Structure 1
């Protein structure tokens, strides 16, 4: 008799997205699953991203029997005509799974949040109070290989978040925008719904429909580097399959959105959920060439830190979490809490949002959201 079909675990989907493994739980044998896990483990760049002494990681936090918190960070390290010496964290997301292991939440931290960044002796940084995305940069600066510099950036960012929220992370994953593009390209695109007309600040298009990658000039508030005959690309309302270039571009836009950076955070969360669904769709799982290309792309794109816990242990422990249980959360309930300090605009995280993050730390986020449904974002 055929075995009952079970849901692919969300954790498996998310680990594939962030550099780990795809576990097929649909009628496959344990041996086959373990073989796939081993193959994915060999392909993934694994390293230490969380400093045990910072309180952000370490043995005490590394227990997945209860609630699980993972730090997911996206960076843009592409060069603009010169060598990269500083990198900001454009995307900061906490993936929270409660102790029941039957739900998952994506909590975006606004990159312009004004926070206290602690001193970091590894790079000689003395500490300051400024935008949270700068914390990655202060850790990244200095000598070392690219992986070492990125690991330091994650270390300081996770410590900054730990100081702010008290949350200790069971693991972390880092990806740059080029990595996202390679993963979506390997899947043949991804299904996305544009919920508000948005004008690109990086991508141009000409009358023949050809796309061209430019770059955004903050000073002039315009897209630079586009050839003659090209104008900024406009994402029109509606649902469609997007190429890797268009999907990533849409998830980076904030200037033309009515809710600015909160809209950008929502679209980034929607993209992650769309990738998760696409990665385990029948069109990918039944195409060995596409599946192999996806795993290769994930292996090249991510740095993953599971804090010493085996990937297989994560997958089997959290197999009850399904993709449809992925809930998207917004800080400040999506309302701007801006403050001007010394002529510079910052976003502040209000007390109620700190209560929300405290609920994630205490494992009571579900109860908080029942009482504060305004913190739940559109899922697509």
Structure 2
């Protein structure tokens, strides 16, 4: 039997959790309501958007350069993580899908509007409706990892950063110095500060290092944004694994610390009547599930080229089938027949 003091403590922690994070009720990002105090029943899908907000950037200019979809099977014993290429066009438009978030921000840079707009566009593109969705800026990812301590990441090949440089012998974020390999190398030469090198191999990474590696798209193998998608999935899986192994999701106190660290760097959109603690109740059940990482376009370019000019990416028929399988909760069969879509990053 729970004592009055213990019950009061739980209520206090629950209140702290609910008040530490921005929460919105689903609009057109999802329409399935879940009873308060219970986990989702049956299969469900979660949309996760990552945005890069910088001091030099207007709030109304934010784009969702990271677009991830998590599908959970009906019996909640398997979860899948899929990426949506950021350079695919919004259906019926010449604008890229990562701009759908920007379209909904309005004059005040309202993330709620951005999330609704992006959710509607991604549903139109993939056919997947979302029971929950979230947007988090990159500083929020770093805060989560720092709260966890470190995360295990394997670097597949020596990779130079375009954001971090060695200044006075220490890694320093100088993101304004370059936006690609050429400008980053130019800054390194002129400043005498070499680019930070993510060395090949497996190790525990602090928040800044893990996030920086996952943000790189100028990669040795030339895979560009598709390589970045793989590494973003790798990071999410590492974070989930660390949270599960540390017992974070089953400990209200640890959950409270984690969410307090994220603070207003995250917006969570949930079904009407569902609170953050209810959502975490579902997440706790998934902690032991093996997260399967799936590649869009088999992890390679599917470029649209007209008159010799690049016009973004398109979804291959195989990837359209992937999303259709997710919408019907048939991913297990799809993966069995299409093993090449599995991302085996560690």
TM-score computed with the length of structure 2 as normaliser: 0.85
How far, CA to CA, are the matches of 1:231 and 1:360 in structure 2?
44
Partner of 1:96: 71
Partner of 2:132: 171
How far, CA to CA, are the matches of 2:244 and 2:281 in structure 1?
17
Partner of 2:18: 41
1:369 to 331, 335, 346: 335
Cα pair 1:101 1:318 within 8 Å, conserved:
no
- Is 1:344 the counterpart of 2:310 in the alignment? yes
SS in 2 for 1:57: coil
- Is 1:329 the counterpart of 2:290 in the alignment? no
SS in 1 for 2:191: coil
Cα pair 1:72 1:93 within 8 Å, conserved:
yes
* 1:150-181 Cα distance to aligned partner (Å, 9 max, x none): 11111111111111122111011110011112
* 1:235-271 Cα distance to aligned partner (Å, 9 max, x none): 1111112222111110001112412212111111111
Partner of 1:110: 85
1:30–1:61 Cα change, 3 Å: closer
Partner of 1:124: none
1:163–1:283 Cα change, 3 Å: closer
How far, CA to CA, are the matches of 2:227 and 2:17 in structure 1?
33
* Matched residues, number: 333
- Is 1:263 the counterpart of 2:223 in the alignment? no
Q: Which moved more, 1:331-340 or 1:360-369?
A: 331-340
1:109–1:369 Cα change, 3 Å: same
How far, CA to CA, are the matches of 2:311 and 2:157 in structure 1?
25
SS in 2 for 1:222: helix
SS in 1 for 2:65: strand
Tell me how far 1:207 sits from its aligned partner: 6.2
Tell me how far 1:188 sits from its aligned partner: 2.6
1:167–1:272 Cα change, 3 Å: same
- Is 1:57 the counterpart of 2:34 in the alignment? no
1:61–1:167 Cα change, 3 Å: farther
* 1:105-132 Cα distance to aligned partner (Å, 9 max, x none): 1101111113326xxxxxxxxxx32321
What is the CA RMSD across the aligned residues, in angstroms? 3.1
SS in 1 for 2:17: helix
Tell me how far 1:87 sits from its aligned partner: 1.2
Partner of 1:17: none
Partner of 2:3: none
Gapped regions of structure 2 (runs ≥ 5):
1-5
Normalized per residue, the structure richer in helix is 2
SS in 2 for 1:72: strand
Q: How do residues 62-73 of structure 1 correspond to structure 2 at under 5 angstroms?
A: 64-73=40-49
